[in-house]
Amino acid sequence: MVQSQIAARGIRDEAILSAFAEVPREIFVDEGMEEFTYEDTALPISSEQTISQPFIVACMFDAAEVSTGDRVLEVGAGSGYAAAVLSRIVDRVHAIERYEVLARQAAERIDRLGYENCEIIVGDGLKGLRHAAPFDAILVAARLETVPETLKRQLAIGGRLVIPVGDEDMQQLMAVTRTGEDEWTSRDISMVRFVPLLEGVVAEDGSRSASDHRSMSSASLPEAIARACEPLPEIDGDSFAAHFDAYADKRVVMLGECSHGTHEFYAARAAITRRLVERHGFTIVAVEGDWPDAAAYHRFIIGQKQPDAANLPFQRFPTWMWRNTVMPPFLDNLRRINETLPEGRRAGFYGLDIYNISGSIEAILAYLDENDPEAAAVARERYGCLNPWQSDPAIYGKMALRKGFAECEEEVVRQCRELLNQALENDGGSFSAAMNARLVASAERYYRIMYYGGAESWNLRDSHMADTLEHLLEQGGRDSKAIVWAHNSHIGDARATDMGAVRGEHNLGQLARERWGDEVALIGFGTHTGTVSAASDWDGGRQVKSVIPSRRDSYERLFHDCGVPRLLLDFNSHPALSQRLSEPRLERFIGVIYRPETERWSHYSEAVLPRQFDAYCWLDTTNALEPLMPHEDHQGTPETFPFGL
């Protein structure tokens, strides 16, 4: 909590950090809530109250510049947690609480900890504590429309009053410093949101909470998001996916993810896809995976026999992307749905990416061996220059840079062209072979140019994916409709990010908008914190890593601060809000590699979210994607072949 929620957001005072590390927050929450003690949020306490978010408490301490030897007054003790932490920093804490039941419970907790320099008092916070004044700092944990003169007068000269001032929607957190007997200065700290400070003492239960509602430029943006969005139910169940029926009239629906290793992104896309296929006539599921590997999944869901001695698909790093616990039940559901649909309405599963040269060459040769043995012999000769590099085609790219090294481009392109011409005859096997040949041709060039750096290799890869999607739609006919699963960096329009504006890159989402216009819906997915499956380096082992809570200057923080744990926001339906969200902000991108230690530079990039996507699905806390247990023996069980289970 101290590292990721407080220090990571800019609190540097070692005394504050040490105090938060010392005080056991779990004793300030109700029994049964201990497992959530250190989450980045307010939590319920007794009498239907809440204990405030740790960061905002630390922010107020930092603004008050509390230090050893200070005498401090806290107005609004609540659970007693803030007062307890404060007592580990300063000489003496007096904390006033207007609700008797809360004051009694807070005092008991403080006594249990043995913090003798901390006093909890039942009283009216607006009156302050005259007999104990003056104070070096006064902290007010509830909002007022103006700064109370009474509290200002109870400051020592040089003392600081930190208080939220404003109306019901939002307040400005202010630091007021007493500079003389009748002189004060003030400075604004941040936009926040607190409950009101009321007069008097009450014995009955009340309602209290404080949460951080910061934004970069507009105080009410988190609340505006909360008002405009559609809150979503749990992902399990058809009611979640029903919210995405608004995009059922599109020809292409692209579903993103801000990391390749998050369970909820896969589960959400699976639920949405099942509904769009079963109820709305979508016939193509196209993913950021390789064509020959996806073909095994395709054969499974259409009930087609797998080739003899076929290799298990998706064995290339990172295997967890498409061999995970979400995929078997998802593909099984698609297979069952297909069994109820006429042949022309059945869904297929296809890979858009270009990495698997070896699998595509094997598929091409297998097709030609069966249909044209003479062409197969020619193809083997043409692909001969790639044979030494099939297990690691990146080595081919490096060798191709050397002077005098013969490139394979001419031969593989010739093979591609011939198979594409055959595919015009509308033979299903020929079409698949042609797509594999396209992959080999694209991948050959991709691996050859990747060593030059720059945008060309990225652009080639996304152009290949866009072209493959276009071929699938053409092959499916006028009524074909596609769902695409890919990372936000591929499906969010590159022109609205640093990719296009700075690096000159285009991507799948941009190309789709250029080709199909309003028939495309680009839906991004985001999260605030949790865990993720990722590696530390390319081709490294899978690790479960904690996702650092999002930065204060990011889009993710705006959505976290809105307080809705799951939501869908359609930007086109809310033009005024979209305009306000169009100031560039940081957006987080986690791929198969995650490096928390350099997260700002490794995983954040500037973007304009409402231009990047048509809609945004927010899942505040998410969990690591679980890979399948390895089990490679699929002999005799072809019906479960894709996973060997």
Residues annotated as catalytic are: 52
Q: How far apart are CA 521 and CA 18, in angstroms?
A: 48
In our burial notation (b when 16+ CB lie closer than 10 A, e otherwise), range 229-260 reads bbebeebeeeebbebbebbeebbbbbbbbbbb
Q: What is the four-CA torsion angle of 256, 262, 266, 268, rounded to 10 degrees? A: -80
Q: Which residues pair with 164 in a beta bridge?
A: 173
Q: How far apart are CA 606 and CA 544, in angstroms?
A: 26
Q: How far apart are CA 34 and CA 27, in angstroms?
A: 8
Q: What is the four-CA torsion angle of 88, 89, 95, 100, rounded to 10 degrees? A: -20
Q: How far apart are CA 139 and CA 76, in angstroms?
A: 9
Q: Which residue matches tokens 């809570």?
A: 549
Q: How far apart are CA 569 and CA 533, in angstroms?
A: 26
Spatial contact of 144 and 195, defined as CB atoms under 8 Å apart: no
Residue 22 is given by DSSP the state H
Q: How far apart are CA 438 and CA 244, in angstroms?
A: 33
End-to-end CA distance of the chain: 40
Which has the closest alpha carbon to 212: 17, 11, 496? 11
Spatial contact of 40 and 5, defined as CB atoms under 8 Å apart: yes
Sheet holding 155-166, edge to edge: 118-122, 92-97, 71-75, 135-140, 155-166, 171-180, 183-194, 210-211
Q: What is the DSSP string of 428-476?
A: HHHHHHHHHHHHHHHHHHHHHHGGG-SSHHHHHHHHHHHHHHHHHHHHH
**What are 361's two structure tokens?**
């060459």
Q: What is the helix, strand, coil percentage profile of the chain, to 5?
A: 45, 20, 35
Q: How far apart are CA 311 and CA 633, in angstroms?
A: 10
Give every CB contact of residue 53 below 8 A, 6+ residues apart in sequence.
Answer: 40, 41, 42, 210, 211, 212
Kindly report each contact of residues 453-456 with a partner whose C-beta sits within 8 Å and lies 24 or more positions away, as own/partner: 454/504, 455/503, 455/504, 455/505
Instruction: Count the Cβ atoms, other than its own, within 10 Å of residue 20.
Output: 24
Spatial contact of 512 and 494, defined as CB atoms under 8 Å apart: no
Which has the closest alpha carbon to 272: 236, 325, 225? 236
